[in-house]
């Protein structure tokens, strides 16, 4: 049997609806119970689709959480790409970079921040390869270049972002008892020294 263009359009619309339902169900479950307690079975059941649909769409739990992370980070990305200064355009690059790191540090410390909650549950290797982390890398690299930083902008951006990784912030705040204010001041100092 040959599919008609109408069949293909209906299938795409159905897939789009299923994706939206799955992400909505996952977001609600994460908000209610925490990302660490959400299973693929529960998400499929809450969305009213089969587990096979969920696995075909996202591959595995990390794939689902990464898609949810990208959606959760859209508002923050909007703020640093086109929002008001100093986080958004209109401020000098050094100020924007300082504001960007400060905002990340605040978000990582906020237990209610969905992006941070999701990021903590995704394996580091997968998280670093995500659209969100690639956007962070590109943004920091661009601001370093605009600020006139000398050196390899890509590696300098990696070094800065390593300072505000989930693992680093968790260790510094938990094991070392470093306050958020001290982390933000150190970030600003690193930016000043690099630029």
Q: Confirm whether 95 is domain-assigned.
A: yes
Instruction: Mark whether 38 and 101 lie in a shared domain.
Output: no
Instruction: Mark whether 163 and 125 lie in a shared domain.
Output: yes
Instruction: Mark whether 32 and 122 lie in a shared domain.
Output: no
Tell whether the torsion through CA atoms of 67, 133, 180 and 75 is positive or negative.
negative
Instruction: Mark whether 20 and 55 lie in a shared domain.
Output: yes
Q: Domain containing 90: what range?
A: 74-194
pLDDT tens-digit series, residues 104-144: 999 988 878 888 888 888 888 888 889 999 999 999 999 99
pLDDT tens-digit series, residues 142-181: 999 999 999 999 999 999 999 999 889 989 998 999 999 9
Instruction: Mark whether 163 and 124 lie in a shared domain.
Output: yes
Read off the CATH number of the domain in which 21 is found. 1.10.10.60
pLDDT tens-digit series, residues 83-95: 999 999 999 999 9
Instruction: Mark whether 92 and 153 lie in a shared domain.
Output: yes
Domain count, the chain: 2
Q: CA geometry: angle at 175 spanning 107 and 34, to 5°?
A: 45
Nearest to 160 by CA among 193, 121, 124: 193
Instruction: Mark whether 34 and 128 lie in a shared domain.
Output: no
């Amino acid at each position: 049997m040959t599919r008609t263009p109408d069949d293909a359009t209906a299938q795409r619309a159905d897939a789009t609806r299923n994706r939206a339902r799955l992400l909505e169900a996952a977001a609600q479950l994460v908000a209610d119970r925490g990302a660490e307690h959400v299973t693929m079975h529960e998400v499929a059941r809450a969305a009213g689709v089969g587990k096979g649909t969920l696995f075909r769409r996202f591959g595995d739990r990390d794939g689902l959480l990464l898609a949810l992370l990208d959606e959760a980070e859209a508002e923050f990305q909007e703020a640093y790409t086109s929002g008001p200064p100093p986080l958004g355009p209109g401020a000098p690059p050094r100020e924007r970079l300082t504001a960007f790191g400060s905002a990340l540090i605040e978000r990582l410390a906020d237990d209610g921040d969905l992006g941070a909650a999701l990021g903590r549950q995704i394996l580091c290797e997968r998280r670093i390869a995500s659209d969100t982390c690639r956007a962070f890398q590109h943004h920091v690299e661009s601001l370093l270049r605009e600020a006139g930083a000398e050196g390899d902008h890509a590696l300098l951006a990696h070094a800065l972002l390593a300072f505000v990784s989930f693992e680093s912030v968790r260790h510094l705040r938990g094991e070392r008892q470093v306050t958020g204010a001290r982390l933000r001041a150190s970030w600003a100092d690193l930016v000043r020294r690099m630029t």
